[in-house]
Structure 1
Amino acid sequence: MRIMSYNLRKHAAAAELEQRADRWDPDVMCLQEANVEDLPTNISGLRLAAATDRNRLGLALYYRESSFRFVESVSLGLKKSLHDIVLKPAHERLLGVQLYDIDASREITFASFHAAPLTALNSLRRTQIRSALQALERLGPGTPTFMVGDYNYPVFKERLGDQIREHGYDMTLSDSRTYTRYRFFKGHYDFVTSRGLSIGAVTTLPQGTSDHLPILVDAEYRRHSR
């Protein structure tokens, strides 16, 4: 299966979605910083599963109807940074969706995630990531799980990776950096945490209007996963 993730930078890159979906043919598409009221129900064979509804800059997730059936979804607010408290860009930083894989005859959990901005401490983002993974476990206990998005975590990823592995998940970076706006903060901001899945290529796609580059992930079920 192929999953695409894209931070639209305040919805500026929304006009690219149909062209990118046609070109890269994802089965699931996870979005961050979207004006969800302006998102279409369908994009090139992908159906909108769910979107946050309390965010100024929201999250959304699309899935291919020929491959999956929608089961349920959940959106959650996570521990807030000062940036969130003052500017209120995002009450909900996690959107989880449970889908039924038609060909594999099993359920799988996908999530679009957007961590607190760079003005927050890495310790806060680690807390948000831990809380997000716990919430996804409640949504789909024991099912293969795939969380992708903008982690806003450019440095000191070793500690983050250790924490993610302690929770039984893997962390996979893309083949090149995904954020280029600031000279001293370029890096891999957009990446994957997963459980019960083998992650193949994580390809950074060509840059568009956004300051984030989208990523395309190839994944398959592990044989021992439920």
Structure 2
Amino acid sequence: MELTARIDGYCERLGPGLWAEPVNALTNLAFVAAALCLWPRVRGVERLLAAILLLIGIGSGLFHTYATVWAALADTLPILAFILVYVFAANRRFLGWPLWGAVLGAAAVVPYALAMGRVFATLPGFAVSSFYWPIPVLIAAYAVALRARLPGVARGLAIGAGVLCLSLVFRSADAALCPVWPWGTHFAWHLLNAAMLGWMIVVLARHRLEAGQARG
């Protein structure tokens, strides 16, 4: 497929124009706002994640305006980067894995997501977002694993997994509800996802502060 090929995959889009998805386009400002709000309050890997969150907003904004293959890549690649960096940080911070183990654990997310995505693709109602559903399952698995040793982190991760599940419901319902709701529901995926990703950064930052206080 050519990088300039057009993509029409959302209810709100009725034509090829740059502003054919105004609600979907403008709600990407939620990612930008979350990133800019977090930036001065975090450091280290959390600041890197805030920068990636900003790129998610920019990339998704490009996709919902230009609606081309290259814009879709600008949308999805920062999301993948956020997931990989976060899992790496979680492996290091929450699980205490060595550097090489944290890297391998993060890399394993890709085959895990591909395999689990195929499973979700066979389930009624899950196929539309089958490539995303493995992520809340993974977050929930970390929450369960950490519930005894780091209960605060586990609660934070569980909240993140729950919000992501809700946002995926809205993402998946976009086409189904289109006949009765012409704006679709994809914009709610943006708003909830921006809140969820920002919250996940907060969970990391709080753990850093709590760990530092414990050592002090």
Q: Scaled by the length of structure 1, what TM-score is found? A: 0.28
Highest RCO, 1 vs 2 (Cα 8 Å, sep ≥ 6): 2
- The structure in which a higher percent of residues are helix is 2
Structure of larger gyration radius: 2
Q: Scaled by the length of structure 2, what TM-score is found? A: 0.29
